[in-house]
Structure 1
Amino acid sequence: MIITGTQNTKKHGGRPTVAEARRLTRAVTVKFSKKDYEILKVRSKKANKHMAEYIRDSTLNPDVAQKPLEAVTKDYRMLVGMANNLNQLTKMAHQEGIIYLYVPLNSLLGDISHIVREYKQDADKKRKR
Structure 2
Amino acid sequence: MENKKKDKQKRGRPAKEKAKLSTSINLKLTEEDFKTVKEKAGKLGMKATQYAREMTLNGCVKSRFTLEELDKMCKLSGMANNLNQIARKINAYGMYDAVAEVFELIGKIKALFHDS
Aligned to 1:31: 27
Unaligned runs of 5+ in 1: 119-129
Give the CA deviation at 1:62.
Answer: 1.8
Give the CA deviation at 1:61.
Answer: 5.0
State the SS of the aligned residue for 1:65.
Answer: coil
Aligned to 1:56: 53
Q: 1:103 to 1:52 in 2, by over 3 A?
A: same
Aligned to 1:83: 80
Aligned to 1:16: 15
Q: 1:24 to 1:115 in 2, by over 3 A?
A: farther
Q: Would the aligned equivalents of 1:48 and 1:66 in 2 still touch at CA under 8 Å? A: yes
Q: Would the aligned equivalents of 1:47 and 1:66 in 2 still touch at CA under 8 Å? A: yes
2:94 maps to amino acid: G
Give the CA deviation at 1:86.
Answer: 0.8
What CA RMSD, in Å, does the superposition of the two structures yield over aligned residues? 4.1
Question: Percent of aligned positions with the same letter in both sequences?
Answer: 21
Give the CA deviation at 1:99.
Answer: 4.2
Structure with more relative contact order (C-alpha pairs < 8 Å, separation 6 or more): 2
Q: Would the aligned equivalents of 1:44 and 1:54 in 2 still touch at CA under 8 Å? A: yes
Q: Would the aligned equivalents of 2:51 and 2:61 in 1 still touch at CA under 8 Å? A: no
Aligned to 1:41: 38
Q: TM-score, normalised by structure 2?
A: 0.55
State the SS of the aligned residue for 1:17.
Answer: coil
Mean Cα displacement is larger for which, 84-93 or 96-105?
96-105
User: Does residue 94 in structure 1 map to residue 55 in structure 2?
Assistant: no
Mean Cα displacement is larger for which, 42-51 or 99-108?
99-108
1:39 maps to amino acid: T
Unaligned runs of 5+ in 2: none
State the SS of the aligned residue for 1:100.
Answer: coil
